[in-house]
Amino acid sequence: MEAEMEKEDELLNQSLQSRTLAMEKVRASRQHLILVASLLDRIPNLAGLARTCEVFKASTLAIADASILRDKQFQLISVTAEKWLPIIEVPVSSVKHFLDKKKREGFSILGLEQTANSIPLDRYIFPKKTVLVLGREKEGIPVDIIHMLDACIEIPQFGVVRSLNVHVSGAIAVWEYTRQQRSQ
């Protein structure tokens, strides 16, 4: 009986070690891309971004309120991405402090925003260590945060409608970052 329990304990330990190694491997293979979605409040957008970030192995997704991870609509849209992607809570009031900290850690701080000085996404070379800030669904990135950015990038648009949904925009920018990192 005791030998059986010891064998079960050993199998459990091996299983846990195997899972820990697998998770470390996943973590180590993540890109150096942090997506800051703290200014967003619509669950479908946040869930879609979580899924996008997981699919393209962003290192982190920052959101304003981590309690939405338990929301059924979020879980339905994210398709378990929240279980595999590091998601951190950065409340709106802490975004500037978070960006300052990341800048000191050597990250370039970029905003996805249409401004007079924005660089077209297809002409921008992403630094390896990138923090990408997304703006509010209607208002975009507030001026006080825009002043902290190293650059603003925008997706060239040609139609009559001059904006994309923030989740779609974020996904396009995350893909472009990923495409550039893959080609290096």
**Where does the pLDDT of residue 2 fall: very low under 50, low under 70, confident under 90, or very high at 90 and above?**
confident
In this structure, the answer to whether residues 135 and 79 fall within a common structural domain is: yes
Contacts of 140 (CB under 8 A, 6+ apart): 113, 114
**Where does the pLDDT of residue 29 fall: very low under 50, low under 70, confident under 90, or very high at 90 and above?**
confident
Q: How many CB atoms lie within 10 A of CB 13?
A: 10
Q: What is the pLDDT of residue 15?
A: 73
Average pLDDT, the chain: 93
In this structure, the answer to whether residues 91 and 24 fall within a common structural domain is: no
pLDDT digits (tens, 9 = 90+) for 134-173: 999 999 999 999 999 999 999 999 999 888 999 999 999 9
Burial of residue 117 (number of CB atoms within 10 Å: 0-12, 13-18, 19+): exposed
**Where does the pLDDT of residue 27 fall: very low under 50, low under 70, confident under 90, or very high at 90 and above?**
low
In this structure, the answer to whether residues 62 and 4 fall within a common structural domain is: no
In this structure, the answer to whether residues 17 and 69 fall within a common structural domain is: no
In this structure, the answer to whether residues 35 and 23 fall within a common structural domain is: no
Structure tokens belonging to residue 111? 């905003």
In this structure, the answer to whether residues 24 and 61 fall within a common structural domain is: no
In this structure, the answer to whether residues 148 and 96 fall within a common structural domain is: yes
In this structure, the answer to whether residues 11 and 72 fall within a common structural domain is: no
- Above pLDDT 90, what percent of the chain? 81
Q: What is the pLDDT of residue 14?
A: 81
Whether the predicted pLDDT of 21 surpasses 90: no
Q: What total of structural domains would you count in the chain?
A: 2
Whether the predicted pLDDT of 16 surpasses 80: no
In this structure, the answer to whether residues 18 and 96 fall within a common structural domain is: no
Whether the predicted pLDDT of 174 surpasses 70: yes
CATH classification at residue 89? 3.40.1280.10
Q: What is the pLDDT of residue 127?
A: 98
Q: What is the pLDDT of residue 67?
A: 97
The parent domain of residue 25 ranges over: 1-29
Query: How large is the angle between the packed helices 166-182 and 43-55, nearest 10 degrees?
Result: 10
In this structure, the answer to whether residues 54 and 15 fall within a common structural domain is: no
Whether the predicted pLDDT of 3 surpasses 80: no
pTM of the model: 0.87
Whether the predicted pLDDT of 122 surpasses 80: yes
Q: In what order do the strands lie in the sheet with 130-134?
A: 87-89, 60-63, 33-36, 130-134, 108-112, 151-154, 119-120
**What's the mean pLDDT in 89-101?**
98
In this structure, the answer to whether residues 40 and 24 fall within a common structural domain is: no
